Protein backbone atom coordinates (compact mmCIF):
# COMPACT_ATOMS: atom_id res chain seq x y z
CA UNK A 1 0.00 0.00 0.00
CA UNK A 2 1.08 3.49 -0.74
CA UNK A 3 2.17 5.62 2.21
CA UNK A 4 3.71 9.02 2.73
CA UNK A 5 5.98 9.81 5.67
CA UNK A 6 6.89 13.21 7.03
CA UNK A 7 9.37 12.54 9.78
CA UNK A 8 9.42 16.02 11.29
CA UNK A 9 6.23 17.13 12.98
CA UNK A 10 7.67 20.57 13.78
CA UNK A 11 10.53 22.55 12.28
CA UNK A 12 11.57 25.82 13.94
CA UNK A 13 13.78 28.12 11.89
CA UNK A 14 14.95 31.71 12.03
CA UNK A 15 13.85 34.20 9.43
CA UNK A 16 16.10 34.35 6.35
CA UNK A 17 17.58 30.92 7.13
CA UNK A 18 17.20 28.02 4.70
CA UNK A 19 14.78 25.20 5.44
CA UNK A 20 14.18 21.66 4.28
CA UNK A 21 11.01 19.71 5.03
CA UNK A 22 11.41 16.01 4.50
CA UNK A 23 9.01 13.66 2.75
CA UNK A 24 9.43 10.01 1.86
CA UNK A 25 6.98 7.80 0.07
CA UNK A 26 6.60 4.08 -0.37
CA UNK A 27 5.13 2.72 -3.53
CA UNK A 28 5.96 -0.04 -5.94
CA UNK A 29 4.62 1.92 -8.88
CA UNK A 30 5.14 5.39 -10.27
CA UNK A 31 3.69 8.20 -8.23
CA UNK A 32 2.74 11.78 -8.61
CA UNK A 33 3.88 13.93 -5.69
CA UNK A 34 2.55 17.15 -4.25
CA UNK A 35 3.29 19.64 -1.52
CA UNK A 36 0.43 21.61 -0.03
CA UNK A 37 0.53 24.47 2.49
CA UNK A 38 -2.14 25.21 5.08
CA UNK A 39 -2.22 28.63 6.70
CA UNK A 40 -4.17 29.02 9.95
CA UNK A 41 -7.95 28.69 9.50
CA UNK A 42 -7.62 28.08 5.79
CA UNK A 43 -7.79 25.18 3.39
CA UNK A 44 -4.84 23.62 1.61
CA UNK A 45 -3.11 25.40 -1.24
CA UNK A 46 -0.94 23.67 -3.80
CA UNK A 47 2.73 24.67 -3.54
CA UNK A 48 4.13 22.45 -6.27
CA UNK A 49 3.78 19.09 -7.94
CA UNK A 50 5.93 16.48 -9.62
CA UNK A 51 4.40 14.46 -12.44
CA UNK A 52 7.37 13.55 -14.61
CA UNK A 53 10.42 15.06 -16.28
CA UNK A 54 12.87 17.27 -14.44
CA UNK A 55 13.39 16.10 -10.89
CA UNK A 56 13.74 19.65 -9.57
CA UNK A 57 10.35 21.28 -9.32
CA UNK A 58 9.80 24.94 -8.58
CA UNK A 59 6.65 26.14 -6.93
CA UNK A 60 5.07 29.27 -5.58
CA UNK A 61 6.49 31.54 -2.87
CA UNK A 62 10.10 30.55 -3.65
CA UNK A 63 9.72 26.89 -2.67
CA UNK A 64 11.22 24.02 -4.63
CA UNK A 65 11.37 20.26 -4.23
CA UNK A 66 13.54 17.52 -5.61
CA UNK A 67 12.23 14.13 -6.61
CA UNK A 68 14.70 11.37 -5.79
CA UNK A 69 13.52 8.02 -7.06
CA UNK A 70 16.36 5.96 -5.58
CA UNK A 71 15.73 7.38 -2.11
CA UNK A 72 11.95 7.60 -2.62
CA UNK A 73 12.03 11.15 -1.34
CA UNK A 74 10.49 14.48 -2.29
CA UNK A 75 11.95 17.01 0.11
CA UNK A 76 10.75 20.62 0.09
CA UNK A 77 13.28 23.44 0.33
CA UNK A 78 13.43 27.19 0.52
CA UNK A 79 16.74 29.07 0.59
CA UNK A 80 15.51 31.93 2.79
CA UNK A 81 12.28 31.79 4.77
CA UNK A 82 10.04 34.64 5.83
CA UNK A 83 7.75 35.02 8.82
CA UNK A 84 4.81 34.63 6.45
CA UNK A 85 5.94 31.07 5.63
CA UNK A 86 4.81 29.94 9.08
CA UNK A 87 2.21 27.28 8.28
CA UNK A 88 1.64 23.56 8.14
CA UNK A 89 3.02 21.74 5.12
CA UNK A 90 1.68 18.47 3.78
CA UNK A 91 3.31 16.08 1.37
CA UNK A 92 0.91 13.94 -0.66
CA UNK A 93 1.09 11.27 -3.33
CA UNK A 94 -1.15 9.66 -5.87
CA UNK A 95 -0.42 6.60 -7.95
CA UNK A 96 0.12 6.83 -11.68
CA UNK A 97 -2.99 5.35 -13.23
CA UNK A 98 -4.72 5.41 -9.86
CA UNK A 99 -6.92 8.35 -10.58
CA UNK A 100 -7.15 11.18 -8.10
CA UNK A 101 -6.81 9.48 -4.71
CA UNK A 102 -4.37 11.46 -2.58
CA UNK A 103 -2.51 9.92 0.32
CA UNK A 104 -1.23 12.54 2.75
CA UNK A 105 1.63 12.62 5.18
CA UNK A 106 0.95 13.71 8.74
CA UNK A 107 2.19 17.24 8.14
CA UNK A 108 5.10 19.41 9.27
CA UNK A 109 4.51 22.61 11.20
CA UNK A 110 7.03 25.20 10.05
CA UNK A 111 7.53 27.98 12.58
CA UNK A 112 9.62 30.91 11.43
CA UNK A 113 11.02 33.05 14.23
CA UNK A 114 12.64 36.47 14.24
Partner 1 sequence: EAQVTQNPRYLITVTGKKLTVTCSQNMNHEYMSWYRQDPGLGLRQIYYSMNVEVTDKGDVPEGYKVSRKEKRNFPLILESPSPNQTSLYFCASSLGGALGQPQHFGDGTRLSIL
Contact residues toward partner 1 (CB under 8 A) are 6, 9, 32, 34, 36, 41-46, 49, 51, 90, 92, 94, 96-102, 104-107
| Cβ pair 101, 72 in contact under 8 A | no
Between 85 and 88, name the residue whose CB sits nearer to partner 1: 88
**Best CA proximity match to 96, nearest among 8, 7, 30:** 30
What is the smallest separation between the CB atom of 19 and partner 1, expressed in angstroms? Answer: 20
Number of CB atoms found within 10 A of residue 85's CB? 20
Closer residue to partner 1 in complex, CB, 15/61: 61
CA dihedral (104, 77, 72, 29) positive or negative: positive
CB of 95 to partner 1, least distance (A): 9
CB of residue 5 to partner 1, shortest distance in Å: 10
Amino acid sequence: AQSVTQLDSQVPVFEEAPVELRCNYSSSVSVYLFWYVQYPNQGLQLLLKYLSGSTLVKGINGFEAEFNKSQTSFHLRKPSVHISDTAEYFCAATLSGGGNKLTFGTGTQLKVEL
